[in-house]
Amino acid sequence: MLLLDKPRGLSSNTALQHARRLLNAAKAGHTGTLDPMASGLLPLCFGEATKFAQALLDARKEYVAGIRFGTSTTTGDAEGEVLAEAPVTFDRDALQLALQRFIGVSRQVPPRHAALKHQGRRYYEYAREGIEIPRPARDIVIDGLELMEFGASDAVVRIRCSKGTYVRALAEDLARSLGTVGHLAALRRTATGPFRIEHAITLDALQARDAGARLTPLLPIDAPLCEMSRIVIDGEAARALMEGRSASSPAGAAGRLRAYGPLGRFMGIVEAAAGVLRPVRLVDTAARDDW
């Protein structure tokens, strides 16, 4: 796994393909789309690690968002055309109070230009054609909102939230709650799960290295699962699991676990229930005969 600092102006897939070519990887995937206008942490998985990318897709995220009040846009962000304008009359204290009201579990209506699908087509495809479609609200969780900067019509907010949270929609909803309109002016993802932007590398820095040095920032295959509980399995049980069979579970083991064989080799994800271990998602061990 590679922690990439995606630049503004590139789609997540374009950034992924650049990194894949630099690392000469046959198989690659990212762990949560960042819009082209956004920058920041984009964990990329290569080879067998792609099997475990879902753990980071589901992980909590952290963003630093620039919000501009007084102007709304067709896309909800700085790339859209101006849609409406309204006066900005609130002060810093009112904004602080409004932010607190958004913390916790809530229902959020996704933006018109989301990549979600309706009847097989992306929301943004309908939006570009001026077609209104149903956009069902979805459950989200905001863990924290910290006001970092505040000006006459701009604010910078640190956001900690669940997957599926649209910061564009949050910016618009926040502005509406303050009696005005607004849009997302800038966005940078600073954390995904336990991983932070401070440990990421840019594409330019990766490209500047020679082929061997480009491998140095790579994290091991099991990195996406680092927050999952760990279990070590003995040789006989490990072989059974790698062959797709169940095995006896160690006492006290329960739920989904990241499993390691007797030599400390990462096996993948197993599930323990009622004293039985079952394979869920395992690495490819076709070339190994020492399980």
Q: Is 35 a catalytic residue?
A: yes
Whole-number Å distance between alpha carbons of 263 and 227: 21
Q: How far apart are the first and last CA of the chain?
A: 24
| Burial call 56-94: b when 16+ CB within 10 Å, e when fewer | bbebbbbbbbbbbbbbbbbbbbbebeeeeebebebeeee
- Which residues is 154 bridged to in the sheet? 68
Length of the chain: 291
Phi and psi for 115 in degrees, rounded to 5? Answer: -90, 5
Catalytic position from the list 5, 35, 77, 222: 35
Note whether 15 and 4 are within 8 A (CB): yes
Q: Which helix (H) or strand (E) holds 155?
A: strand 154-161
Whole-number Å distance between alpha carbons of 260 and 64: 37
Note whether 179 and 61 are within 8 A (CB): no
| Burial call 26-36: b when 16+ CB within 10 Å, e when fewer | eebbbbbebbb
Instruction: Enumerate the active-site residues.
Output: 35
